[in-house]
Structure 1
């Protein structure tokens, strides 16, 4: 089986787990995420606008004491850029249906809440397959320390995410069951 086949099978399993977990509710996940982010007050934070059955980081983003931004896809094969977000700001539909601020300052985050399809106990994440976060994290981490915090349902944990050399490891994972840290 090829790496592409392995990732496809892992995505299918993780999407099914996420749908079931989403139906059950997110519980205290946003509160746990906000508590995990509290020591990073003042640092630029990148969150994301939840789509479909993704776990919702918006309450934690709104509680952050510091600038908050969300990703903007600039094009295939390019790293993400991040535009300032505030609760209630004007939003427009961006690539893949994700909402982005209609205007605002471009911000380089130091802390990122990273969406994902699946994750494993080693700290690797399975994304949607475009490589946007891996490319972005690699670039940010080359310039300065950058913290990547995965945010998902505990049910999205996989036995092992199939990885390749370009995959970036998460520093921590926050679910409705708590936080895990990776070395």
Structure 2
């Protein structure tokens, strides 16, 4: 899911967003075109940095993130947890997904139905049949739509305000805004993805928690 609507036109704001929450930012970007250009470049840089980490190191970090999620969430029995299929070096939480089901929870994966529309969460248990979705990411071939109590969302970047830099499709904010209740939203990633700011816009929704395998957030 994505935290920024980079593929859409500029929004109209009643007041300019504040970018000065980091004292090191001497010339904050205020023009949407500049923010969009900056986000694109920063996204590419962060993904390259993530992919440069060895597979063994990513596996170890994914395990620590799983342990941290257990500490943050607690008992998963009777709760619906939406996760994701790992893409381009994202933390691989599929073993943890299996453990959620073993402990009495239910799991789901997000599905892109159409550009510009909210995601649908489809029930998924490891072993269920998958098919290729957007970007060839596997999605459940069947499965009832569900409303998750907890949404685990991978980050490309994260700033001190818990604002998440995603892939630019705007699905994340659109989906949360359409839900009838607010789930617990947890961003997951690596420490190297922490940045000074994403230049948050009024449509950006911050994470409730961020887990990077440490307990810093």
- Structure-to-structure mapping, 1:39-118, within 5 angstroms: 39-64=75-100, 65-118=104-157
Measured against aligned partners, the alpha-carbon deviations of 1:102-140 in whole angstroms (never above 9, x if no partner) come to: 111111112100012111111000000000011111222
TM-score, normalised by the number of residues in structure 2: 0.76
Contact 1:22 1:53 (8 Å CA) reproduced: no
More strand by share: 1
1:36 counterpart residue number: 72
Q: Over alpha carbons, which structure has the higher Rg? A: 2
Higher relative contact order (CA 8 A, sep 6+): 2
1:10 counterpart residue number: 42
The answer as to 2:52 corresponding to 1:20 is: yes
- State the aligned residue count: 178
Q: 2: distance between equivalents of 1:170 and 1:63?
A: 23
Shift of 1:40: 4.3
The answer as to 2:170 corresponding to 1:131 is: yes
Shift of 1:14: 1.5
1:154 counterpart residue number: 191
Partner of residue 214 from structure 2, selected from 162, 177, 180: 177
Q: 1: distance between equivalents of 2:38 and 2:76?
A: 36
2:25 counterpart residue number: none
Which blocks of at least 5 consecutive residues in structure 1 are unaligned? Answer: none
Shift of 1:50: 0.7
Which blocks of at least 5 consecutive residues in structure 2 are unaligned? Answer: 1-28
Q: Indicate the RMSD between aligned Cα atoms, in angstroms.
A: 1.7
Contact 2:80 2:105 (8 Å CA) reproduced: yes
Change (3 A) 1:61 1:7: same
2:9 counterpart residue number: none
Q: 1: distance between equivalents of 2:94 and 2:178?
A: 25
